[in-house]
Structure 1
Amino acid sequence: MEFNEIADGLSDPVRRAWERSLRGGRAALSRRQLLRASALVAGAGTLAACGIPPARTTGTGAAESAGPDASDTDKVLNFSNWPLYIDVDPNDEAKRPTLDAFTAATGVKVKYSEDINDNVEFFGKVKPQLAAGQDTGRDLVVLTDWMAARLIRLGWAQRLDPVNLPTALTNLESRFRTTDWDPGRRYSYPWTGIQTVIAYNRKATKGKEVSSVAQLLDDPELKGRVTFLSEMRDTVGMVLLSMGKRPEKFTADDFDAAVARVQKAVDAKQIRKFTGNDYGQELSSGDIAACIAWGGDLIQLKADNPDIEFVIPADGYLASTDNLLVPARAQHKKNAELLIDFYYQQTVAAQLTAGIGYVSPVAGVQAELAKIAPEAAENPLVIPTPEMAAKVHTFRSLTEAEETDFEEKFSKLIGA
């Protein structure tokens, strides 16, 4: 399914939400922008875009999603992931050391494809086969939490066998264990975590710390030098937290109150604009003083400019995940489970984390990471401190009706 075909099937508010995040076209976007852009088009519109109705579901869908498993005789695994999302050999970028180690340990050869460029585009690729009850040709995929939730809801993901996941069951960090869209992690395991925090330029603020969303919204010294994110979940989620509301349990009235809170700051010209991760250049130059930002961006920004700081507000911060799932009718489910379990070994998780710089969901990884990448092991954007972990929140799953309603209101707020 091509970009224009997807866009043609979207309602106006959802289309505008997507387009504002796809500035300059997909070719110009980073992986983080693509991931965030695709998260704006959840709901019925994407199902209609390719002219294929939603699949019939049967509760968990577990019985219908399983197919014959050839893993015991066919030692192969077809793994689809995002670009730049696995460790590579610095002397030969065609080599992926952890995958090579998995093959050496299990005898399972991995066909690794970087063919997930955004959640919606990938969903369009695999939906015809999934809707028809056919194998997609992929045994393992990595999808963002809301899209992972959709596949599970539609019965298009296979329930994982805990017998094949002893290491993952033991080493999954506690804060990743509970989700409203996959209780008990029966269908998915996190690949990485992503953090939404506050960032500021110490030089631009003349040494003043910016430590709260309330400051971003009200501090007269920051007026006109603040940006918020054009991704609804992150901006509204952070504002909800500043208002004493939990993003996991907010109501429609809470959402409206958060939007009104931001609208007041827009009307007062406190907020300059809403952005994707293109805030980085302006933050680094000091053209903006402070913003809501994604942790993965800040690692490189701070490496280039020591004046860049980040803060976890006392109210808390937002986190999301990219997740490993086995699609319905996949032919090598056990092999996929073996790979999931392999990446939950601390030594393997450390090598992956050192290579990609995202938050690891594996408990105990810090000690191993310190042996190979000590700076990363001490970076709270890579290894959250216990104090940070205690403040993390997630944005709850939305119904299709909520998605349309909330995006329309958010689009109006940001002038999209």
Structure 2
Amino acid sequence: MEQYEPDRLTPAQAAAMRRSFTNGRAALTRRSLLRASAGGALAVGGLGALSACGIPAAGQSAGGTSAEDHSAQEKTVNFSNWTEYMDVDDSGKHHPTLDAFAKRTGIKVRYTEDINDNNEFFGKIQPQLAAGQDTGRDLIVLTDWMAARLIRLGWVQKLDPSHLPHAYANLSQQFRSVDWDPGRAYSYPWQGISTVIAYNKKALDGVEVKSVSDLLDNRKLKGRVGFLTEMRDSVGMTLLDMGKDPSHFTDDDYDAAIARLQKGVDSGQIRRFTGNDYTSDLTKGDLAACLAWAGDVVQLKADSPDVDFVIPDSGYITSTDVMLIPNKARHKTNAERLIDYYYEPQAAAELAAYINYVCPVDGVKAELAKIDEDAANNPLIIPDKAMQARSHPFRSLTQKEETAYEGKFAKLTGA
């Protein structure tokens, strides 16, 4: 595991980080850089004291495999994360929140940006985990569907509640209940990812867009509508528009959503299915409206007066990137202390001010306002209760469902 050394940044990386700091937010959001494919995700499935906090008791999972914890003797934690997913100072050489954690605790964070894709990273760590070996990492951040796979396989460790007082107290209600990790026994959110409708006001030229139905049915938008290559986002938003709950839907519901999207493809209403490349099309006006990730929209709005967003009355899809401790990690307690640190409002606010995704920490708004008042008042970063109530997760899938659903979606998108 290579230790984080600021002076090893390339000039291009340092320049990008300086631009991000100057703008007060990440010029390239993590999802803009690379939105990982969810293909191949699999399904999963006592913290009884958490019930008082609104977290249901954890399910009876076999749990992962621990190793001898060297945290007391080795004041370090090996942390693997995605690129552009951590605060960086003006010089582009330091991560202020990690530095503050090390100064307070004496625990040095070996921070590595070596996650570029969920499936790719899974392939990297799978041999060691399958063999019951240490991956060299104490803390990793993966998207919820991949986290569900690792939990199901028994490859991550249960968290110790006594090491996570801030996390258990301050986790936002929006993220407390997930079917793939009941009771948050194994994972805690790093950031939330919301799927919304973004539009270019100039390109719309007076056409009103408030729903997925408007995207699919308003002929004035023919050929200027975009959906996402992420199955859970595009199908989930369509299910919501049809009055279905993405956390409780049937095969017939899924097929109906696919048929509705197929009609949009066949009629030419949908221009194309995109990854993060919708950002340039939307800014230019080639797309008048599209499904978009909130972290991108924050930056797009800052850069272009024509771009705005809407939350449909039917609701929106929310996913998360979560922190996990792999089996055989040498520094489990140190990793838990780092997880808990990012649930302290001040640290959470500093991170949110930089990366601009949905902050999963209650009580962060006042701290964030001291840094960036606009960010504190932005519902895409700090959702109010009304917006939280409109968020919906996409349910866990069985392996059979995953294969069938991804196959149908791939046929729809031409992938």
Whether 2:76 is the aligned partner of 1:76: answer: yes
**Matched residue, 1:294:** 293
Deviation at 1:323, TM superposition (A): 0.4
Q: What code does the residue aligned with 1:414 have? A: T
The answer as to whether partners of 2:176 and 2:183 remain within 8 angstroms in 1 is yes
**Matched residue, 2:304:** 305
1:319-339 per-position Cα deviation (integer Å, ceiling 9, x unaligned) = 100001100010111001111
**Matched residue, 1:15:** none
Query: What RMSD in Å do the two structures reach over aligned CA positions?
Result: 1.6
Partners of 1:112 and 1:282 in 2: how far apart? 34
**Matched residue, 2:191:** 192
**Matched residue, 1:262:** 261
Deviation at 1:36, TM superposition (A): 3.2
**Matched residue, 1:60:** 61
Q: What code does the residue aligned with 1:78 have? A: N
TM-score (norm 1): 0.87
Whether 2:345 is the aligned partner of 1:337: answer: no
The answer as to whether partners of 2:30 and 2:85 remain within 8 angstroms in 1 is no
**Matched residue, 2:365:** 366
Partners of 1:264 and 1:36 in 2: how far apart? 26
Deviation at 1:182, TM superposition (A): 0.4
* Superposed counterparts of 1:165-184, under 5 Å: 165-184=164-183
Identity of aligned residues (%): 63
Partners of 1:360 and 1:84 in 2: how far apart? 16
Partners of 2:222 and 2:414 in 1: how far apart? 19
* Superposed counterparts of 1:129-168, under 5 Å: 129-168=128-167
Partners of 2:72 and 2:206 in 1: how far apart? 61
* Superposed counterparts of 1:2-401, under 5 Å: 31-32=30-31, 36-43=35-42, 60-62=61-63, 65-90=65-90, 92-401=91-400
1:154–1:35 distance in 2 versus 1, CA, 3 Å: farther
The answer as to whether partners of 2:79 and 2:112 remain within 8 angstroms in 1 is yes
1:330-383 per-position Cα deviation (integer Å, ceiling 9, x unaligned) = 011100111111110001100011111111100011110000111111222111
1:54-102 per-position Cα deviation (integer Å, ceiling 9, x unaligned) = xxxxx7232x511111112221111111111111111x22211111111
Compare 267-276 and 182-191 and name the one that shifted more.
267-276
Q: What 5-or-longer segments of structure 2 have no aligned partner?
A: 1-27, 44-59
- Secondary structure of the residue that 2:396 maps to in structure 1? coil
1:30–1:340 distance in 2 versus 1, CA, 3 Å: closer
Q: What code does the residue aligned with 1:243 have? A: M
Q: What 5-or-longer segments of structure 1 have no aligned partner?
A: 1-28, 45-58
Q: What code does the residue aligned with 1:149 have? A: A
Partners of 1:334 and 1:209 in 2: how far apart? 52
1:161-204 per-position Cα deviation (integer Å, ceiling 9, x unaligned) = 00011111100011111111100100010000001000111111
1:303-324 per-position Cα deviation (integer Å, ceiling 9, x unaligned) = 1211111000000000100001
Partners of 2:117 and 2:404 in 1: how far apart? 23
TM-score (norm 2): 0.87
Q: What code does the residue aligned with 1:113 have? A: T
**Matched residue, 2:405:** 406
Deviation at 1:207, TM superposition (A): 3.2
